[in-house]
């Protein structure tokens, strides 16, 4: 039976190709398309939120439905848009970057993807059951999540499914990177994107099971009479917060480290210089990952922790600024005296650099315990994490999309429209989220559908910005569609300054990336 | 060795991942309906379980066929090994969440509730406890069934290693006897645990509802017991395959994966014995 032809001998076409595929490129495409779809689903929730907040008082939605939307906006963006988006990049790029024929465990790879549509069907259908989707916020704090309706159970089980998907996907990525590298591709020769994903995948395997255990405890408290989070039985709602943020803080690095990887590929290409301080980048990424496990308390400074714990979490959090600063300076130093050009991916990378740094600095402000007592649960926090997650994670993916789309499709995208997309996104993003800093500092609480009159003007600005931001993303979809359909043929080496194995393959690359492993010198 | 041994085996498109996902979805939906006492919950649950059972039989069956058909080279074998090792690490972290809950409630939340007499005057911090409003119960003692179970699991760790030595020396009788012994020890463990649960519910008043002690006790030992059960089923599959003549001294990933899993379950038990029953 077995012969050389046993490698992917079947190529089903049509629907079966996508349903049954074991090919890393097909699976990567499905991840990316799914992520884009979820980006618009969760984005549309944000549009309703901003429409409601356009004026003080209640306009278009009921308060509870508003809470459902904020909850689902968070859950779907995090688990549906950002995480699968980066896994899509990993699927497409890792085998090509390390000189492998495919991912190490191709059937498992397909399973990791196909869990997602089922999990989100379960999660999103909670809108339509009695009691609706949970209105707990994406953090699902006990005791609110204990008291919520059946929709909470649906979200709990969809999180179990998403956890299985993430853990299996992460295992596959780790095994691919550790076991499938071409001869000569030593660990310290791997592209930064590969390194950041190796460390991200480790974080995923380490913390997704903790989230699974935590929501299981919520489920038990809800239905089986346990008292994990109930003081009457000796439990403590604060335990929920500790467990959740032990997952939650590494999770925010799961969403940003692959973005660091993409930026570390783009900036050297358009600076026509190798990445400055490669080794320090690797060590900085590992340090950030390590620190992410010992800083979770900074999400709950106001909950009443012992002062010693507050101090510990404050200083450990501030320590993260050191490796992050190393990265920012390395990117800037890569551009220093480089032969710069400003194609769309580079614009997104520079935008990332500036705006992610703003998010990092507001993070430092939030790390200061006495200051956090003022900022906690205000729009300042909302501004902070949208600067790191939208202008950080999402805009890195947009840059990565323009950077590798010619490689993936074999066509060049429309540079003019790409630049329009960048500028519209950047302007509207700042219009949406910069005013939120001031709203938060002035005391406007987050997750509330109504607000005091003095916050009206800045909320109007933010809402107008949000509508513009949402509309601008339609342009992105149009550019992607146009590029997939046709356009100028892309060369193997799409960008003259690009380095790496993926650029030695044709555009689009062959079905099996490297049937025979290349040798890396 | 066949012609493909120098190629990394890339499987053909497969229907099993999609079926597995739909099975998980059906299981999840069935559970949601069942715990909310809605309509056809248990039936949906059953359909999900059947889909998962069928999928696992077929998917594992195909992988076993490929393995015995010699399409996996050493590099594929290494991928499987790494995959299993990282999977076990993820399981360790799953248990870590429940151990974390145990430590937190025992050393922080219970003393804090007792330190502040506003809500529950007179509540004294102690362990075990079912909390200020909890029911009375008798906690488990370590030196009865739990100590015997510790002995059983440690012995089973030795017998599965002895079976592995048999496989490495191509001594099939030792392999099969070792596996049979391990499976019997595993089943004895589960039986003892079931008896312990029965006693807890009928005689000791120790239930899931018995405050934080009951919650952590049953969730930790329960998930561990589930893992012993899964491990025993995997050992039974290994026994059947061994009797059928599968595995060679230099080619037996599945056997090693199961034995790693068994040792992992063993180590988790030691943690349970020390922190749940003993200290």
| Dist CA B46 CA B51 (whole Å) | 9
Could you tell me the pLDDT band of residue A9, with boundaries at 50, 70 and 90?
Answer: low
Higher pLDDT, B70 or A47: A47
Cα–Cα distance measured from residue A73 to residue A42, given in angstroms and rounded to the nearest whole number: 5
Is the confidence at residue A269, as pLDDT, over 90?
A: yes
A4 pLDDT higher than 50: no
Across the interface, do B134 and A1 touch by the CB < 8 Å criterion?
A: no
Position B263 pLDDT exceeds 90: yes
Q: Is residue A412 scored above 70 in pLDDT? A: yes
A245/B120 Cα distance (integer angstroms): 29
Query: What residues pair up with A378 in beta bridges, in sequence order?
Result: A445
Binned at pLDDT 50, 70 and 90, residue A218 comes out as very high
Provide the pLDDT confidence category of residue A513 given band limits of 50, 70 and 90.
confident
Are residues B21 and A228, on separate chains, in Cβ contact within 8 Å?
A: no
Task: For residues B140 and B120, give the distance between their C-alpha atoms in angstroms, rounded to a whole number.
Answer: 26
Chains A, B: CB contacts within 8 A come to 251
User: Residue B74 and residue B80: Cα distance in Å, rounded?
Assistant: 10
Contacts of A105 in chain B (CB under 8 A): 79-80, 83
Q: Which residue in the block uniquely carries the two structure tokens 């649906």?
A: A154
Q: A209 and B209: CB-CB below 8 Å?
A: no
List the single residue in A with minimal CA-CA distance to B126: A234
Q: Which stretches within chain B are classed as H helix?
A: 16-35, 41-68, 74-104, 110-115, 145-168, 172-199, 211-243, 253-272
Question: How would you class B279 by CB atoms within 10 Å of its CB: exposed for 0-12, middle for 13-18, buried for 19 or more?
Answer: exposed
3-state secondary structure of A106: helix
Query: In the 8-state DSSP scheme, what is residue B204?
Result: I
Model confidence band, residue A312 (pLDDT cutoffs 50, 70, 90) = very high
- A451: region left, alpha or beta (phi > 0 left; psi from -120 to 50 alpha): beta
Which is higher by pLDDT, A7 or A159? A159
Give the C-alpha separation, A110 to A103, whole Å: 10
| CA separation for the pair A166, A156 (Å, rounded) | 15
Q: Please, which pLDDT band fits residue A5 given cuts at 50, 70 and 90?
A: very low
Q: How far does the CA of residue A381 sit from the closest CA of chain B (Å)?
A: 27
Residue B3 forms contact with A (CB below 8 Å): yes
Residue A1: what pLDDT?
Answer: 29
**B121/A contact by beta carbon, under 8 A:** no
Q: Which residues contact B214 (CB under 8 A, 6 or more apart)?
A: A226, A227, B130, B137, B206, B207, B208
- Considering Cα of A143, then A149, then A153, then A154, what sign does the dihedral take? negative
Judge whether A9 is closer than 8 Å to chain B, CB to CB: yes
In this prediction the ipTM stands at 0.96
> Given the structure tokens 């649950």, which residue do they identify?
B45
Residue B39: the pLDDT is 84
Query: Cα separation of A150 and B36, whole Å?
Result: 7
pLDDT in the model for residue A385: 97
Q: Is the sign of the CA dihedral A231, A233, A234, A240 positive or negative? A: negative
Structural domains in chain A?
Answer: 15-504 (1.20.210.10)
Contacts of B20 in chain A (CB under 8 A): 111, 114
Q: What is the pLDDT of residue A514?
A: 87
Within 10 angstroms of residue A271's Cβ, the number of other Cβ atoms is 23
From chain A, the residues in CB contact with B10 under 8 A are 7-8, 22, 101-102, 106, 512
Q: What is the dihedral of CA A429, A435, A438, A439, to 10 degrees?
A: -100
Instruction: Write out the two tokens for B227.
Output: 């893992």
CA A475 → CA A144, A414, A456, distances in Å? Answer: 39, 11, 29
Q: Return the bridge partners of A445, or none.
A: A378
How far apart CA B41 and CA B69 sit, in angstroms, is 41
Calpha distance B181→B190 (Å, rounded): 14
Mean pLDDT of B123-141: 92
Could you tell me the pLDDT band of residue A91, with boundaries at 50, 70 and 90? very high
pLDDT digits (tens, 9 = 90+) for A101-154: 999 999 999 999 999 999 999 999 999 999 999 999 999 999 999 999 999 999
Percent of chain A with pLDDT over 70: 98
Q: What contacts B157, CB < 8 A, 6 or more positions away?
A: B262, B263, B266
- Using the structure block, give the residue that is written with the tokens 């079905």: A511
Residue A185 CA to residue A206 CA, distance in Å, equals 26
Query: Mean pLDDT in chain A?
Result: 95
Q: Do B100 and A243 touch (CB under 8 A)?
A: yes
Looking at residue B121, its pLDDT comes to: 87
Angle at alpha carbon of residue B220, lines to B215 and B223, rounded to 5°: 115
Contact A171 B20 (CB under 8 A): no
Query: Hey, what are B239's tokens?
Result: 């026994």
Question: Quick one: DSSP state of residue A99?
Answer: T
CA dihedral (B66, B67, B71, B76) in degrees, to 10, reads 120
**CA–CA separation, A426 vs B167, rounded Å?**
63
A119 reaches B (C-beta below 8 A): yes
Long-range residue pairs from B226-231, CB within 8 A, at least 24 positions apart, any chain: B227/B91, B227/B264, B227/B265, B227/B268, B228/B153, B228/B186, B228/B189, B228/B190, B228/B193, B228/B265, B229/B190, B230/B261, B231/B186, B231/B258, B231/B261, B231/B262, B231/B265
- Distance between CA B110 and CA B120 in Å, rounded? 12
Instruction: Give burial (CB, 10 Å; 0-12/13-18/19+) of A162.
Output: buried
**Which residues of chain A have a CB within 8 Å of the CB of B86?**
170-171, 174-175, 205
Convert the pLDDT of each residue in A161-194 to its tens digit: 999 999 999 999 999 999 999 999 999 999 999 9
Residues ≥6 apart with Cβ < 8 Å to A53? A449, A451, A459, A462, A463
Say whether A235 and B79 touch across the interface (CB within 8 A): no
Angstrom distance (rounded) from CA B77 to CA A109: 17
| Radius of gyration, CA atoms only, chain B | 23
**Structural domains in chain B?**
1-72 (1.10.287.70), 74-278 (1.20.120.80)
For B261, the 3-state DSSP assignment is: helix
Read off the pLDDT of residues A420-471 as tens digits, 9 standing for 90 and up: 999 999 999 999 999 999 999 999 999 999 999 999 999 999 999 999 999 9
Q: Which two tokens stand for residue B132?
A: 């200020």
pLDDT attached to residue B5: 54
- Identify the three-state secondary structure at position A148: coil
Predicted confidence (pLDDT) per residue in B220-244, tens digit? 999 999 999 999 999 999 999 999 9
Residue numbers of B between 148 and 187 with CB closer than 8 Å to A? none
More confident site: A300 or A519: A300
% of chain A exceeding 90 in pLDDT: 94
- The lowest-confidence range among A353-367, B122-136, B207-221 is B122-136
Q: Is B11 exposed, middle or buried (0-12, 13-18, 19+ CB in 10 A)?
A: buried
B65 in reach of chain A (CB within 8 A):
no
Q: Which of B3, B15, B209 sits opposite A225 (nearest CB)?
A: B209
Tell me the average pLDDT across A271-295.
Answer: 97
Determine contact, residues B176/B247, Cβ cutoff 8 Å: no
With an 8 Å Cβ cutoff, are A228 and B16 in contact?
no
* CA dist., res. B13 & res. A23, Å (int): 8
Is-contact A236 B108, C-beta < 8 A?
A: yes
Angle A456-485/A415-441 helices, nearest 10 degrees? 160
Q: What is the Cα–Cα distance from A169 to B246, expressed in whole angstroms? A: 29
Write phi, then psi, for B28 (nearest 5 degrees): -60, -45
Partnered with residue A195 across adjacent β-strands are none
Give dist(CA B132, CA A232) in Å, integer. 5
Under a CB-based contact definition with an 8 Å cutoff, are residues A412 and A487 in contact?
A: yes
Coil vs helix vs strand at A448? coil
pLDDT band at B119 (very low <50, low <70, confident <90, very high): confident
Q: Cα separation of A271 and A233, whole Å?
A: 61
Q: Nearest Cβ partner of A118 from B25, B36, B97?
A: B25
**Got the DSSP string for A25-87?**
HHHHHHHHHHHHHHHHHHHHHHHHHHHHTTSSS--SS-HHHHHHHHHHHHHIIIIIIIHHHHH
Task: Tally Cβ neighbours within 10 Å of residue B75.
Answer: 15
């Amino acid at each position: 039976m077995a012969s050389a032809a046993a490698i992917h001998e079947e190529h089903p076409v049509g629907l079966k190709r996508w349903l049954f595929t074991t090919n890393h490129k097909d699976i990567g495409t499905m991840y990316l398309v799914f992520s884009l779809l979820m980006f618009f689903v969760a984005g549309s929730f944000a549009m309703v939120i901003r429409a409601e907040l356009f004026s003080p008082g209640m306009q278009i939605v009921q308060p509870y439905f508003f809470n459902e939307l904020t909850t689902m906006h968070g859950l779907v963006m995090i688990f549906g848009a950002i995480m699968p988006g980066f896994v899509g990049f990993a699927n497409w790029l890792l085998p090509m970057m390390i000189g492998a024929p495919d991912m190490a465990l191709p059937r498992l790879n397909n399973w990791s993807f196909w869990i997602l549509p089922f999990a989100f069907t379960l999660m999103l259908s909670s809108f339509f059951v009695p009691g609706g989707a949970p209105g707990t916020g994406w953090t699902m704090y006990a005791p609110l999540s204990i008291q919520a309706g059946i929709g909470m159970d649906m979200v709990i089980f969809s999180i179990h499914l998403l956890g299985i998907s993430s853990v299996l996907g992460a295992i596959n990525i780790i095994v691919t990177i550790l076991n499938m590298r071409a001869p000569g591709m030593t660990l310290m020769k791997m592209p930064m994107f590969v390194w950041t994903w190796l460390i991200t995948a480790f974080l995923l395997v380490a913390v997704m099971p903790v989230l699974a255990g935590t929501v299981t405890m919520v489920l038990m408290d809800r239905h089986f009479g346990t008292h994990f989070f109930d003081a009457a039985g000796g439990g403590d709602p604060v335990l929920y917060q500790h467990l959740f943020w032990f997952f939650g803080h590494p999770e925010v690095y799961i969403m940003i480290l692959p973005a660091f990887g993409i930026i570390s590929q783009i900036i050297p290409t358009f600076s026509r210089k190798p990445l400055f301080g490669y080794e320090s980048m690797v060590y900085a990424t590992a340090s950030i990952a390590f620190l992410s496990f010992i800083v979770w308390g900074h999400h709950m400074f106001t909950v009443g922790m012992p002062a010693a714990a507050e101090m510990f979490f404050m200083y450990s959090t501030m320590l993260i600024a050191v490796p992050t600063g190393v990265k920012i300076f390395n990117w800037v130093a890569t551009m220093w005296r480089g032969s710069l050009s400003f194609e769309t991916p580079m614009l997104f990378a520079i935008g990332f650099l500036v705006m992610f740094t703003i998010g990092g600095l507001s993070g430092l402000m939030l790390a200061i315990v006495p200051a956090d007592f003022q900022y906690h649960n205000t729009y300042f926090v909302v501004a902070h994490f949208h600067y790191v997650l939208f202008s950080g994670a999402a805009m890195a993916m947009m840059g990565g999309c323009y950077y590798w789309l010619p490689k993936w499709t074999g066509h060049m995208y429309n540079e003019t429209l790409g630049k329009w997309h960048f500028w519209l996104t950047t302007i509207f993003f700042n219009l949406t989220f910069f005013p939120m800093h001031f709203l938060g500092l002035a005391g406007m609480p987050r997750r509330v559908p109504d607000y005091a009159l003095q916050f009206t003007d800045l909320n109007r600005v933010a809402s107008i910005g949000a509508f513009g931001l949402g509309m601008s993303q339609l342009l992105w979809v149009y550019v992607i569609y146009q590029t997939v359909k046709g356009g100028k043929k892309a060369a193997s080496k799409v960008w003259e300054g690009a380095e790496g194995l993926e650029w030695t393959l044709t555009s689009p690359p062959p079905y099996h990336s490297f049937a025979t492993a290349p040798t890396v010198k | 060795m066949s012609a493909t041994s120098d190629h990394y085996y890339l499987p053909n498109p497969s229907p099993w991942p999609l079926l597995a996902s739909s099975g998980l979805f059906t299981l999840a939906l069935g559970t949601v309906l069942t715990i909310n006492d809605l309509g056809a919950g248990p039936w949906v649950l059953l359909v999900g379980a059947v889909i998962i059972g069928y999928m696992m039989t077929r998917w594992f069956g195909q992988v076993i066929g490929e393995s015995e058909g010699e399409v996996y080279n050493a590099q594929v074998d290494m991928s499987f090994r790494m995959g299993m090792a990282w999977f076990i690490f993820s399981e360790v972290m799953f248990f870590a969440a429940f151990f974390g809950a145990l430590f937190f409630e025992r050393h922080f939340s219970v003393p804090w509730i007792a330190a502040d007499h506003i809500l529950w005057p007179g509540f004294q911090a102690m362990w075990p406890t079912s909390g200020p409003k909890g029911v009375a119960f008798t906690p488990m003692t370590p030196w009865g069934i739990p100590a015997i179970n510790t002995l059983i699991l440690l012995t089973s760790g030795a017998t599965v290693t002895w079976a592995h030595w048999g496989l490495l020396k191509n001594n099939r009788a030792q392999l099969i006897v070792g596996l049979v012994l391990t499976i019997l020890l595993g089943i004895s463990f589960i039986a003892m645990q079931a008896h312990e649960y029965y006693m807890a519910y009928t005689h000791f008043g120790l239930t899931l509802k018995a405050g934080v002690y009951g919650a952590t006790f049953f969730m930790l030992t329960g998930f561990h017991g589930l893992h012993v059960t899964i491990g025993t089923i995997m050992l039974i599959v290994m026994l059947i395959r061994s009797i059928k003549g599968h595995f060679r001294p230099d080619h037996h990933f599945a056997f090693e994966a199961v034995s790693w899993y068994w040792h992992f379950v063993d180590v988790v038990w030691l943690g349970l014995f020390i922190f749940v029953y003993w200290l």
